[in-house]
Amino acid sequence: MTVAFWCVLIALFLPILCTSIAKLSSGRFNLRHNHDPRAFQETLESLPRRAHAAQLNSFEAFPAFAAAVIIADIVGNAEQVTQDVLAVVYITSRLLYIICYLADWAALRSLVWFAGVALIVSFFVVSV
C-alpha cells in the first residue's frame, strides 16, 4: 500500500481525534451523553466547541481528499513519490488546521484550509 493510501486512512481518523478532544476537554462528557451526542455537542463552548467544529470540517474535507488520491492513483500519470509527498503535506495541513481551530487563530486557520484545498487540486494537476 502506498504512503498516499495510508494518508487516506489517517485522514479518516482525524475527525475522531477532534471529537475526542471536544468531549474530553469539556470535562462534562460521560457515557450517558452517547445516547444523544449531537445534543451534547451543541451545548459545548470555547475550546470543546471549536474541536467539534474541526471535527465537522474534517468530515467535510475527507471525501475530496480520498477521491483525489484514488483518482491520481488510477490515472497513473503522476510519479508515486509526488502523490505520496502531496498526501503527507495534506495531512500536515489538516493537523495544522486543527491546531489553528483549537487555538482560535481564525485568519491562519483559513489560510491553512485554502492550502489544503490547493493540495487536493494539486493531485488532479499532477495527474494530467
Q: What is the pLDDT of residue 37?
A: 77
Domain that holds residue 43: 3-126
Q: What is the pLDDT of residue 38?
A: 81
Q: What is the pLDDT of residue 35?
A: 76
What is the tally of structural domains in the chain?
A: 1
CATH classification at residue 78: 1.20.120.550
Instruction: Read off φ and ψ for residue 127, nearest 5 degrees.
Output: -90, -5
Low-confidence ranges of the chain (pLDDT < 70): 29-33
Closest by CA position to 47, among listed 69, 28, 33, 65: 28
Q: Do the Cβ atoms of 123 and 68 come closer than 8 Å?
A: yes
Q: What is the pLDDT of residue 43?
A: 84
